[in-house]
Amino acid sequence: MTLPPVMPTDDLEVRVERAVTAIRARTTLVPRVGLTLGSGLGGIVDAIPEATVFATRELPDWPPSTVAGHAGRLAIGTWCGVPVAALSGRSHRYEGYSLDRVTFAVRVMRALGARTMVFTNAVGAIHPELRPADVMLATGHLNWIGKRGLLTRDELRERRQGIRVADPYSPRLRAALLTAAAEAGVKLHQGVLMGGHGPTYETAAEVRMARRLGADAACMSTVHEVTLAAQLDCEAASLSCVTNRATGLSSVPLTHAEVTEVADQVAGRLRLVLERFLAAEA
């Protein structure tokens, strides 16, 4: 179905409503869980049987994904007995988008009905015990990407009495994912995620600083998405695929091709964890 063109607008609520309307024109399924899939992990979308799949470039107001490994597909369907919305192809701050556009998918999935959000990402290891192909469950984060522009003026006004949640990473979800990983035979490390601007990788000096500040892995996404999801009263969690050792910890230069190659190798294990998690949520 081809929808008529729409005029651009700065009104975030209108943009979300227009995207939701376009999605609802093809499916009435109400997702309970929203999945955002990082570099090389988008193939998980294909695991959802009989899903309604959208090319995000065809949805009104959706920021195009320009990064290799981020296909730009949104699938709405039932996976392991749970209605889900799964996004392959997030947008990044380093692509030139403001944070209200980078986190647009979070708002759309919530507007569709999702109140549980699981984010996956590719990360560089900062902690000396993490190695490529390891999987890490985030226990917290350092947000170097930013927060300005995450919330509307009305949302900021509502939150002037204090922060909405004490911990953006849901303890219940962390426990559920640890259980799911154990059942799937996948070892989950746990650590603090550091989100940086990108698109360049951190320097060796920045990696040493991040380690002293408590970071265990570095990425260029997720921390602002988790922050917004929690502020919008959703449970949030993050699973990271370690694709490389951070700058200064590896003897070879870092490349995006390396990131997607290792992520492709780990995708099967992440899929097993998500399937066990969803089966328990059904």
Residues with a catalytic annotation lie at 39, 70, 92, 94-95, 122, 220-221, 244, 256
Work out whether strand 135-143 and strand 33-37 pair parallel, antiparallel, or are unpaired: unpaired
* Preceding peptide of 63 cis, ω within 30°: no
Distance CA(20)–CA(8), nearest Å, equals: 16
d(CA 282, CA 279): 5
DSSP state of 114: -
Whether cis (ω within 30° of 0) applies to the bond prior to 199 is yes
What is the C-alpha separation between 130 and 191, in angstroms, rounded?
Answer: 10
Residues in Cβ contact with 123 at an 8 Å cutoff, skipping those fewer than 6 apart: 136, 193, 217, 218, 219, 240, 241, 242, 243
- Give every CB contact of residue 212 below 8 A, 6+ residues apart in sequence: none
Selection from 22, 18, 20, 27 nearest residue 3 by Cα: 22
Alpha-carbon distance 282 to 274, whole Å?
12
